[in-house]
């Protein structure tokens, strides 16, 4: 039985990482919740963001936190274009058709990354990566803490956008009722594209944060896609708080599973959790029943 402060450290680390996961999942939840598109390429987008951060760091010595702005902007545009150009024309097609579309995009993205960057791991080395704050027995990594804070700020921003702005409310209207929204004159296709752009921007910020914590390789793409889905389903579809909560839960449970069982078994736990949640409470912890 590992010592209590080791467990505490692992839990805190899990919470912080979980918040970054949560931001990634938030992007997916927003996309899934509004546009009803299963973004099977979500993890690949996350991985691309991580690579973008490494490239910007290598070329311009740009700190990932600063890189968040340009990368998020670029991803917003990319997400908007993807939805507008590729997915919007498919809204009326059956569900598995849309799914396949994004599976195709995911395959292209992950292998394009393989082609461009090769299979070796890349990462970012900043000065403060090895620093940590001491909170009693717990050692909190500086980088991890900042990453978590960035995730929270981004999530809060998104939440405020949906709550307080007109566009945000319009998007929520579309999510609730596609036909109704069109009837009252909302340009639903534009709003969908906007939503996808926002979701992509979330992923971008999460990716830039994550690259400080983890080395990036192309196969991370599919792993993150699945992880995002696990989180969104566990936390609850359509619930932003649920995505963050789910992220933290998964972060902590992964960390604990890594400690008590074996590091490589962490994902097994997540998948087991996904299966259980899908069966017992498909609306997730904070979601609403469809």
Partner 1 sequence: MNRRSIALAVLGAILIALPFMVGNYALSVATLILYFAYTGQAWNVMMGFAGQLSLGHALYVGVGAYAAGALFFYYGIGPWAGLWLAIALCVALGLVIGFLAFRFGISGVYFALLTIAFAEFTRIGFDHFGWTGGPGGMFLRVAQRDTWDLANFRGPPLMYYYAMLALTAGAFALCAWLLRSRAGYYWQAIREDEEAARALGINAFRWKLLAVAISAAMTAVAGVFFAFYYNNLFPEQIFHISRSIEIILGPVIGGVGTLFGPLLGAAVLTLLSDGITEALAAFGLDIPGVKQVFYGLVLLGVVMFLPHGIWPAIARRLRL
**CB nearer to partner 1: pick between 162 and 229:** 229
For residue 104, state whether it binds partner 1 (rule: CB under 8 A): yes
Residues 1-40 that bind partner 1 (CB under 8 A): 38
Strand segments, DSSP code E, in the chain are 132-135, 138-141
Q: Which of 78, 99, 159, 161 binds partner 1 (CB under 8 A)?
A: 99
For residue 272, state whether it binds partner 1 (rule: CB under 8 A): yes
Choose the binding region for partner 1 from 53-61, 71-79, 103-111, 127-135 (rule: CB under 8 A). 103-111
Report the 10 Å Cβ neighbour count for 273: 19
- C-beta of 112: minimal distance to partner 1 in Å? 6
> What is residue 133's DSSP assignment?
E
For residue 185, state whether it binds partner 1 (rule: CB under 8 A): no
- C-beta of 218: minimal distance to partner 1 in Å? 8
- C-beta of 123: minimal distance to partner 1 in Å? 20
Q: Which of 1, 4, 119, 127 binds partner 1 (CB under 8 A)?
A: 119
CA dihedral for 180, 181, 186, 191, sign (positive or negative): negative
Cβ neighbours for 224, distance < 8 A, ≥ 6 positions apart: 24, 42, 43, 44, 46, 47
| Angstrom distances, CA of residue 222 to CA of 65, 110, 176, 192 | 24, 8, 29, 24
Collapsed DSSP state (helix, strand, coil) of residue 40: coil
Place of tokens 């566990």: 234
Report the 10 Å Cβ neighbour count for 59: 8
Choose the binding region for partner 1 from 14-22, 153-161, 186-194, 276-284 (rule: CB under 8 A). 276-284
- C-beta of 268: minimal distance to partner 1 in Å? 4
119-153 in b/e form (b: 16+ CB < 10 A) is eeebbbebeeeeebeeeeeeebbbbbbbbbebbee
Supply the DSSP string of 189-236, one letter for each residue: HHHHHHHHHHHHHHHHHHHHHHTTTS-B-TTHHHHHHHHHHHHHHHH-
Question: Which has the closest alpha carbon to 196: 56, 38, 89?
Answer: 38
For residue 121, state whether it binds partner 1 (rule: CB under 8 A): no
Choose the binding region for partner 1 from 45-53, 150-158, 170-178, 268-276 (rule: CB under 8 A). 268-276
For residue 288, state whether it binds partner 1 (rule: CB under 8 A): no
Q: Which of 30, 35, 110, 216 binds partner 1 (CB under 8 A)?
A: 110
Q: Which of 58, 60, 93, 187 binds partner 1 (CB under 8 A)?
A: 93
How many amino acids of this chain bind partner 1 (CB under 8 A)?
44
For residue 176, state whether it binds partner 1 (rule: CB under 8 A): no
Residues 199-258 that bind partner 1 (CB under 8 A): 218, 222, 226, 229-230, 233
Q: Which of 1, 4, 59, 279 binds partner 1 (CB under 8 A)?
A: 279
Q: Contact positions toward partner 1, by CB under 8 A?
A: 38, 86, 90, 93, 95-97, 99-101, 103-115, 118-119, 218, 222, 226, 229-230, 233, 262, 264-265, 267-268, 271-272, 274-275, 278-280, 282
């Amino acid at each position: 039985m590992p010592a209590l402060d080791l467990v505490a450290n692992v839990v805190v680390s899990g919470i912080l990482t979980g918040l970054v996961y949560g931001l990634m999942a938030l992007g997916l939840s927003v996309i899934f919740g509004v546009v009803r598109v299963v973004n099977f390429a979500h993890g690949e987008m996350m991985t691309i963001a991580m690579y973008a951060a490494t490239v910007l760091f290598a070329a311009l010595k740009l700190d990932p936190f600063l890189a968040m702005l340009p990368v998020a902007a670029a991803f917003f545009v990319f997400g908007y274009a993807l939805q507008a150009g590729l997915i919007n024309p498919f809204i009326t097609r059956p569900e598995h058709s849309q799914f396949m579309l994004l599976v195709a995009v995911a395959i292209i993205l992950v292998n394009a990354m393989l082609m461009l960057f090769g299979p070796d791991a890349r990462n970012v080395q900043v000065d403060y990566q090895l620093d940590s704050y001491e909170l009693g027995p717990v050692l909190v990594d500086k980088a991890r803490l900042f990453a978590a804070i960035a995730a929270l700020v981004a999530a809060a921003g998104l939440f405020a956008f949906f709550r307080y702005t007109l566009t945000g409310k319009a998007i929520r209207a579309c999510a609730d009722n596609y036909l109704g929204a069109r009837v009252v004159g909302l340009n639903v296709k534009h709003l969908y594209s906007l939503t996808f752009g926002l979701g992509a921007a979330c992923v971008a910020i999460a990716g830039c944060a994550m690259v400080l914590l983890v080395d990036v390789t192309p196969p991370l793409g599919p792993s993150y896609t699945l992880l995002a889905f696990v989180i969104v389903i566990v936390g609850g579809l359509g619930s932003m708080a649920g995505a963050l909560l789910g992220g933290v839960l998964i972060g902590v449970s992964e960390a604990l599973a890594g400690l008590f069982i074996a590091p490589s078994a962490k994902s097994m736990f997540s998948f087991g959790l996904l299966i259980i949640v899908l069966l017992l409470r498909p609306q997730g912890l904070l979601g609403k029943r469809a």
